[in-house]
Amino acid sequence: MIDGKKVLFSGMQATGNLTLGNYLGALKNWVALSDEYECFYSVVDMHSITVRQDPATLRKRARSLLTLYIAAGLDPKKNCIYYQSHVSAHAELAWVLNCYTYMGELNRMTQFKDKAAKHADNINAGLFTYPVLMAADILLYQADVVPVGIDQMQHLELTRNLAERFNNLYGEVFTIPEAYIGKVGAKIMSLQDPSKKMSKSDENPNGSIYLMDDPDTIMRKCRRAVTDSEGCIRYTDRQPGLKNLIDIYSACTGKTPEETVREFDGKGYGDLKPAVGEAVISVLKPLQEEYARLSKDKAYLDSIIKENGEKAGYYAGKTLRKVHRKIGFPDRIR
Ligand code: TRP
């Protein structure tokens, strides 16, 4: 609890260009949660180096992601928006937690197995212990809730196990975090292969709408979206491409899928697709304008980065000191 509010922690990696899926599935909901919770939204750049990165690109993308958080509507005065690498307690707690995590637990992580297969030439120890760093992120802030996608549930479960293990040994040190699965956290699929999540690392750029795509590109991608030959607008798992378009339209217009189906009753895919494009453009245009405006304001962004980095450091430091005391590290002499 901070000032009577429950604490929320989440983070995104600054790798790849953010997609409409990241926005509708995560960022947009983060904004909705920021009144109810005391929120920490991190740009988790330390996680990014588990895969080799070009330094200049990583730096640029990290700043761009932080700017996007704000452009999407997260008020940086209310929400602690900061770079993970600016708060050294993340690395420090991760080390401690590493010593309480079993190899067998990490061996079971499906994301590790997937990433190891994908990056067979660089299966580094960081990739293996990635979930421990994620646990440190969450536990440092005594987070009550963590909005995550289904792909991160296994990591969150590990975080809960580590917290419980630690508390059993040393008393109540960590808050046990719960997953926050958004009610409307639309899961947006690839426009080219609706069996796959829309992903910033997709090799086919037509599968994803990027947050910085211009209107013509958005329109083209929507028109080319894979559907089916049934030709009739319904909301069913048997027509996954169509279902995805209905989800996108609904999320962008604030309608329910049922309302969308009714709106397009008797119409064809040729009517729906451009309407989806328009709906997406009307959501992304203001976001892009705000992003452009913020990007020019270097002094403002720098001040946010500094203030929020210090704020995060304050809360993280409190937890870390408690952990150090519990495990028997000598007190610091002041
Ligand atoms: N692993 C998360 C992802 O790739 C990002 C992340 C890092 C995160 N630390 C976190 C998410 C803590 C939630 C809480 O999506």
- The pLDDT tens digits for 104-148 are 999 999 999 999 999 999 999 999 999 999 999 999 999 999 998
From the candidates 5, 118, 183, 200, give the one annotated as an active-site residue: 200
Of all protein residues, the one whose alpha carbon is nearest to atom 6 of ligand 1 is 11
Q: Which atom of ligand 1 is nearest to the CA of 134?
A: 9
Statement: residue 306 has pLDDT above 80 = yes
pLDDT at 73: 95
Count how many Cα atoms sit within 13 Å of the Cα of residue 14 in the half-sphere of its side chain: 28
Does 200 qualify as catalytic in the annotation? yes
From the candidates 28, 197, 221, 273, give the one annotated as an active-site residue: 197
- Dihedral over alpha carbons 245, 248, 253, 258 (to 10 degrees): 60
- Report which listed range, 99-103, 195-199, 229-233, is most confident: 99-103
pLDDT at 187: 85
Residue 70 pLDDT grade (very low, low, confident, very high; cuts 50, 70, 90):
very high
Separation of alpha carbons 15 and 32, rounded Å: 24
Residue 7: which of 97, 158, 137 has the closest Cα? 137
Residue 315: which of 10, 90, 124, 62 has the closest Cα? 90
Distant-in-sequence, close-in-space partners of 259: CB < 8 Å, separation ≥ 6: 250
- The CA radius of gyration of the chain, in Å to the nearest whole number, is 21
pLDDT at 85: 98
User: Does 44 sit in the ligand 1 pocket, CB within 6 Å?
Assistant: yes
User: Does 48 sit in the ligand 1 pocket, CB within 6 Å?
Assistant: no
Does 115 qualify as catalytic in the annotation? yes
Residue 14 pLDDT grade (very low, low, confident, very high; cuts 50, 70, 90):
confident
Angle at 29 between CA 90 and CA 16, to 5 degrees: 60
Does 187 qualify as catalytic in the annotation? no
User: Quick check: helix, strand or coil at residue 42?
Assistant: strand
Q: Which atom of ligand 1 is nearest to the CA of 147?
A: 13
DSSP 183: S
pLDDT at 149: 83
Residue 188: which of 71, 1, 27, 316 has the closest Cα? 27
Q: What pairing do the DSSP bridges indicate for beta strands 7-12 and 38-43?
A: parallel
Separation of alpha carbons 232 and 261, rounded Å: 10
Ligand 1 center to 45 CA (angstroms): 10
User: Does 9 sit in the ligand 1 pocket, CB within 6 Å?
Assistant: yes
DSSP 5: B
Residue 16 pLDDT grade (very low, low, confident, very high; cuts 50, 70, 90):
confident
User: Does 197 sit in the ligand 1 pocket, CB within 6 Å?
Assistant: no
Count CB atoms within 10 A of the CB of residue 275: 18
Question: What are 28-47's pLDDT values in tens digits?
Answer: 999 999 999 999 999 999 99
Separation of alpha carbons 93 and 138, rounded Å: 10
User: Does 10 sit in the ligand 1 pocket, CB within 6 Å?
Assistant: yes
pLDDT at 181: 78
Angle at 67 between CA 223 and CA 316, to 5 degrees: 130
Of all protein residues, the one whose alpha carbon is nearest to atom 8 of ligand 1 is 11
Q: Measuring CA to CA, how many Å separate 280 from each of 94, 176, 203?
A: 39, 37, 22
pTM of the model as a whole: 0.93
pLDDT at 200: 84
Q: Which residue has the tokens 């899961």?
A: 187
Ligand 1 center to 140 CA (angstroms): 14
User: Quick check: helix, strand or coil at residue 9?
Assistant: strand
**Is 208 within 8 Å of 202 (Cβ atoms)?**
yes
Count how many Cα atoms sit within 13 Å of the Cα of residue 108 in the half-sphere of its side chain: 9
Separation of alpha carbons 253 and 296, rounded Å: 29
Question: What are 141-200's pLDDT values in tens digits?
Answer: 999 999 988 889 999 999 999 999 999 999 999 999 999 976 545 789 999 999 999 988
